[in-house]
Structure 1
């Protein structure tokens, strides 16, 4: 199976901070935090668009719904391996984002789109000097009056596990990928700082990020990455903590959205402004990830409790990682098979061949309607999440005479934990309250 391996970047470390690293974090905040400025002290909200929508600069003109879902299923498999690789302390990373925001880097600001990823800690963008960067937008550092390379003898370089390879003593880090491209996929980046401009004229005057100089394999066409993980001193969340308090939320637009966008909000406002918000505790099984406890799943009239023997190190529920980059929710075995078999019995339709990993599919005549059994996830804290119909049964292919639909959940197999995918996150406001150690979820139609 695929595995993505970190070569030398501590930004993605999943290990928890020691007391000594906590002290270095405080000194880092004193140095970087003093450079934070903003003309808008409140929350800020970004339009959050699908990378495949008509308004995305990364949209492939010849892609079809079937081909996109095929690629999502392939990349989900690679991403799962990367998320739960052992040992965890070695780190994990994967570029499989579905949603992008626009940020301004430099003085004057240059607009760069970047993938929003809730399990990543790394922040890097493609730069003009990059070899094999085929993205439509590149950051031209020489045009910025405030751009600086981070030196090898700096605290930030040490925190990033950087290395020196050039005579100018600039700090360089490497990310290595071993997936379907073997060892061909990688990114080399210079650790750098510059002004970062966000929505509402909020800005950081000394934001630390990677300016990529070499990319190969799956990374050649990728946008930049804004990691919203919680496990790094140099993560976006840590660098903006004094502005937004390590609280953010998102509402993902529908998979069928062509031109509309959802939103990514930074700050505590979502905690009080979101109607119907219910909370579940944030588990500490993976210090880098946002992990919650799943107690049970209801499918129509059937109710499946998570058996104790499947719950791993979470005694009160199945640990489930919330991941913006995984397309379809993955459930551990044999729990998934129980849920799927119940769904099949209640559908009472003749199944067709599976669509890759989606093993419960049906062909519907054009103009026909199909109603799926109700699916409800029960999380710790008495949070009951009713999954919208369009996120339970999705269209994977369509012709003039028919369209194929599939159950939008799949098996995580054995040896992995469950993942809450972005198909089931659509049209939900999900609030990540890191200081409060909790996740809030509410229904919201965010196709704007």
Structure 2
């Protein structure tokens, strides 16, 4: 009887121990799952892009183009003169400074080129228009000729260099000759299409002439014409664009620019009947990968936040940033820190810019998470850098951007660090000089999102894993 009681006692003890271990395991699993949103475990080798282009072998729909980094291995542009990281970041700061200068005034008399948003896109020494920009291939004319153009949500006029070329820079592709197209026509300078331009004039034959001046006195001028635009396999007849006969400045090897702004001459406005003023893109996580640019609505699993307008920058796309979290914890900031200057979503700016107090809080929190790693020298505008040379994996806190309407954009880990080398990986955010400067969400922080612009319904959407 005593033996039986002892056996039952031992069984009871083991049974309780078993359930206790199950409970401990369950608690551990819940904790582990909770940490998923708090940090990223990153293979250090994965931080650097490959020297080879990796493009998924997937069919694309008619209104979708491959989007690649202009200086990466997927780009068709010559790469022997690629700018350094310091040059790219200096140019990025020039673009940001120019945006803030233009936003600071609404006096048209102070704008030498009317209200042209293209004039707010500066270039700087050492590289091309904009910085860190991405390119797509479009077709012009009949038969169609292919051109590599920078896509920019802050510009309206699409243009390419054309013959006769009075003053043209060197580009990769043959310069376009519109007279070889069976669908080319000039536009009269008395046309509404001409008068809608920010700066236009008449030629000696009464055809429309345009001019766009950029921030460093780079410029393009020539004829406003119409011809067939080929976007993937979609043919868009009577598309109005600039045929540049006099183009100077630091445009690199690109053939021109694709304007995705909000004014009448942009591709978004011109194709409103076809695509409903909707476009989307995904910026790839590395320069050795490809993303896409698409016209029309096809997005699923996207969260939308209201699209706002800044009257001083009417073509740019604004939205309301309300908070930032690091490691799953919101920074202790007043929402007015972001709402007072306004927040711009920009494809041409590389590094996101935050108000000084917000950046200071973000940097402080990030540094607390990264105390186990040796620091590295600052890289231009990036002041929080680390040396991962002796590590196979690193643990980096998550960062999320919270927008109006309950939209949370969890920044991809490749959007948290700007990696010049394994020995210099930097927090990919920077502070503005003044609290009144515009908050900008740059293209590094947009990586791998399906970013949807529904201009007709005034909303901007974010979807995860957009490039996959």
Report TM bin, short chain.
0.7 to 0.9
Report deviation, 1:287: 3.3
1:247 is the counterpart of 2:278: yes
CA shift in 2, pair 1:379/1:43, >3 Å: farther
* Counterpart secondary structure, 1:156: helix
Q: Is the 8 A contact 2:78 2:172 kept in 1?
A: no
CA shift in 2, pair 1:244/1:204, >3 Å: same
| Partner Cα separation in structure 2 for residue 421 and residue 308 of structure 1 | 20
Q: Deviations over 1:249-279 (max 9, x none)?
A: 1111122x42x31111111222xxx23x211
Q: Indicate the residue corresponding to 2:256 in structure 1.
A: 224
Q: Is the 8 A contact 2:400 2:410 kept in 1?
A: yes
1:187 is the counterpart of 2:248: no
Q: Deviations over 1:158-201 (max 9, x none)?
A: 1114544642222212122343xxx3x2111211111112223x
Alignment of 1:40-439 (within 5 A): 44-61=63-80, 63=82, 67-84=83-100, 85=102, 86-88=104-106, 90-93=115-118, 94=121, 95-96=129-130, 98-130=133-165, 131-137=167-173, 138-164=175-201, 166-179=203-216, 183=217, 185-200=218-233, 202-219=234-251, 221-230=253-262, 232-255=263-286, 257-258=287-288, 260-270=289-299, 274-275=300-301, 277-285=302-310, 286-300=313-327, 302-313=329-340, 319-348=342-371, 349-398=373-422, 403-414=423-434, 415-439=436-460
* CA-based RMSD: 2.1
CA shift in 2, pair 1:189/1:50, >3 Å: same
Structure 1 portions without partners, runs of 5+:
1-41
| Partner Cα separation in structure 2 for residue 178 and residue 238 of structure 1 | 25
When normalised by structure 1's length, the TM-score is 0.80
Q: Is the 8 A contact 2:62 2:232 kept in 1?
A: no
Report deviation, 1:134: 0.8
Report deviation, 1:309: 4.8
Report deviation, 1:225: 1.0
| Partner Cα separation in structure 1 for residue 321 and residue 335 of structure 2 | 12
* Counterpart secondary structure, 2:183: coil
| Partner Cα separation in structure 2 for residue 73 and residue 326 of structure 1 | 10
Q: Indicate the residue corresponding to 2:16 in structure 1.
A: none
CA shift in 2, pair 1:445/1:204, >3 Å: closer
- Figure out how many residues of one structure are paired with residues of the other and give that number: 383
Report deviation, 1:283: 1.7
Q: Is the 8 A contact 1:43 1:269 kept in 2?
A: no
* Counterpart secondary structure, 1:324: coil
CA shift in 2, pair 1:50/1:178, >3 Å: closer
